[in-house]
Amino acid sequence: MGYYDDHYESHGQTRRTRRGGSFASAFVGAILGGGLVLLSIPALSRWDILPYNVAPSEQAGGEERAGDNGTPPIQQSVSVDVTTAVTKAIAQVSDAVVGVVNIQAAGFWSQGEETGVGSGVIYKKAGGRAFIVTNHHVVENASQLEVSLKDGTRVPAKLLGSDVLMDLAVLEIEAKHVKKIAQFGNSDAVKPGEPVIAIGNPLGLQFAGSVTQGIISGTNRTVEVDLDQDGNPDWNAEVLQTDAAINPGNSGGALVNIKGQVIGINSMKIAQEAVEGIGFAIPINAAIPIISDLERYGQVRRPYMGVELRSLSDIPSYHWQATLHLPANVTEGAAVIQVVPMSPAAQAGLQQFDVIVALDGEKIRNVLDLRKYLYTKKSIGDRMDVTFYRDGKKRTVTLKLARESY
């Protein structure tokens, strides 16, 4: 069972990008444990779905009436105006869901070429500008970005900031092109079984604004993310699970509740022959602070310790005693490989080969636990107790977290 990127193969159909390398990296890059697909797609030139055109019958639908000369009865067409909670929800938000086109330069003498298409959500207008949230992997490595609006108009977009860890990015376009913005809901209030709607551009702009319906299959799901593709998870992404059909190209689009409010940003799916109806979205409550930082600062401001770490489980057990001098009963933790000079860790006295086992008294089993606690429980300027082993002895120091510099 292996995860793969939809830029290469998905749903039995092979596609190629026009550039070398993978278009979508992070959110997940290569993800561990099963066929997980990032949902932006390479640009597609055309679709040969049918070899002929089919004209709709003028006699379709409605009540039967006898024809002249005793011919068989024909049907009279009937127009029905169907309005439901679902159609109202779609009408409220669909104009705010756009296409995001990634254009990359192919070479020194050539012009940029479209290498991928994803989706995005317009969430704000201010100061003559409109702001769009999408996925990091949709815009990654772009030399130019364009946004395709509901009516097909394509306008240039500026990347304000992007975050690989949360797989989110924020774009900016001129507000004069925008008529409607989406409203954010409360993803913390979402319940399993609640109806939801996915809106985006599956398979590219050919099917722009496509709508699928399903339910919330699960909340607080955790997906391990391997950002550097070294085979080890770097982050646990907390996501909403849905069975609404999500396909390549939906990446960055909206997962909407029955009120027409955005409760998630569609990001990935499980793609295996034996698996159907397992898609994931970033909860909007988790995305909002990331979006705010990207819009305001161009990056996410996270607390910073100033250490390079490695999970104890990734270090040969021979070194646990020979190099790290750990007691025999210590088998979990995060080993300090390097301390950045003048960083909070250095000022608190942490050293190379210390093995961190707890933060503020909460057990740390590996680097994943440490990063999760640091980024979700602490803020810049907070003080944090760090418990570690050095030369076989357990110690605790307190450090003041700084802002990570880029």
For residue range 130-171, list pLDDT tens digits in order.
999 999 999 998 999 999 998 889 999 999 999 999 999 999
Which residues are marked as active site? 137, 167, 251
Question: What's the pLDDT tens digit per position in 243-265?
Answer: 998 877 888 999 999 999 999 99
**Residues in contact with 231: Cβ distance below 8 Å, sequence separation at least 6, in sequence order:** 32
Arithmetic mean of pLDDT, 341-348: 96
Is residue 312 within 8 A of residue 334, CB to CB? The reply is yes
pLDDT at 40: 61
Instruction: Kindly list the domain boundaries of the chain, sorted by start residue.
Output: 92-177, 183-297, 303-403
Given CATH 2.40.37.10, say whether it is the number of domain 183-297.
no
More confident residue, 376 or 83: 376
Could you tell me the pLDDT band of residue 34, with boundaries at 50, 70 and 90? Answer: very low
What 8-state DSSP symbol labels residue 201?
-
Token pair, residue 315, equals: 């270090």
**Residues in contact with 19: Cβ distance below 8 Å, sequence separation at least 6, in sequence order:** 104, 106, 113, 115
Beta bridge partners of 253: none
Distances (CA, A) of 75 to 35, 60, 68: 48, 6, 13
Residue 41 CA to residue 295 CA, distance in Å, equals 25
Residue 344 CA to residue 357 CA, distance in Å, equals 18
Q: Per CATH, which fold does 303-403 belong to?
A: Pdz3 Domain (2.30.42)
Could you tell me the pLDDT band of residue 234, with boundaries at 50, 70 and 90? Answer: confident
What DSSP element (H or E) covers 346? helix 344-348
Could you tell me the pLDDT band of residue 35, with boundaries at 50, 70 and 90? Answer: low
Q: What is the pTM of this model?
A: 0.75
Token pair, residue 77, equals: 């067409």
Token pair, residue 74, equals: 């024909």
Token pair, residue 358, equals: 């707890």
Nearest alpha-carbon partner for 100 in 74, 123, 67, 122: 122
Is residue 241 within 8 A of residue 280, CB to CB? The reply is yes
Per-residue pLDDT at 73 exceeds 80 = no
Rounded to 5°, the CA angle 54-58-64 comes to: 130
Per-residue pLDDT at 194 exceeds 50 = yes
Per-residue pLDDT at 305 exceeds 60 = yes
pLDDT at 36: 59
Could you tell me the pLDDT band of residue 110, with boundaries at 50, 70 and 90? Answer: low
Is residue 137 within 8 A of residue 25, CB to CB? The reply is yes
What dihedral do alpha carbons 299, 223, 247, 124 form, nearest 10°? -30
Could you tell me the pLDDT band of residue 9, with boundaries at 50, 70 and 90? Answer: very low
Residue 215 CA to residue 293 CA, distance in Å, equals 30
Residue 234 CA to residue 227 CA, distance in Å, equals 6
Our measurement of the distance from residue 115's CA atom to the centroid of its chain's CA atoms, rounded to an integer in Å, reads: 18
Token pair, residue 395, equals: 């110690």
For the chain, percent of residues with pLDDT exceeding 90: 59
Per-residue pLDDT at 116 exceeds 70 = yes
φ, ψ at 357 (rounded to 5°): -120, -10
Of 219-233, 297-311, 336-350, 379-393, least confident by mean pLDDT is: 219-233
pLDDT at 27: 39
What is the C-alpha end-to-end distance of the chain, expressed in Å?
A: 36
CA atoms within 13 A on the CB side of 403: 7
Is residue 213 within 8 A of residue 197, CB to CB? The reply is yes
Q: Which of 10-24, 83-97, 333-347 has the highest mean pLDDT?
A: 333-347
φ, ψ at 204 (rounded to 5°): 105, -170
Could you tell me the pLDDT band of residue 233, with boundaries at 50, 70 and 90? Answer: confident
For the chain, percent of residues with pLDDT exceeding 70: 75
What 8-state DSSP symbol labels residue 41?
B
Average pLDDT over the chain, rounded to whole? Answer: 82
Is residue 284 within 8 A of residue 239, CB to CB? The reply is no
What 8-state DSSP symbol labels residue 290?
H
Token pair, residue 390, equals: 């050095």
Per-residue pLDDT at 241 exceeds 50 = yes
More confident residue, 42 or 118: 118
pLDDT at 274: 54
Residue 391 CA to residue 5 CA, distance in Å, equals 44
pLDDT at 38: 59
Residue 262 CA to residue 284 CA, distance in Å, equals 7
Token pair, residue 234, equals: 């770097």
pLDDT at 232: 75
Arithmetic mean of pLDDT, 346-351: 97
pLDDT at 247: 79
Query: Does this chain's domain 92-177 share its CATH topology with 303-403?
Result: no
pLDDT at 236: 81
Which CATH code fits 92-177? 2.40.10.10
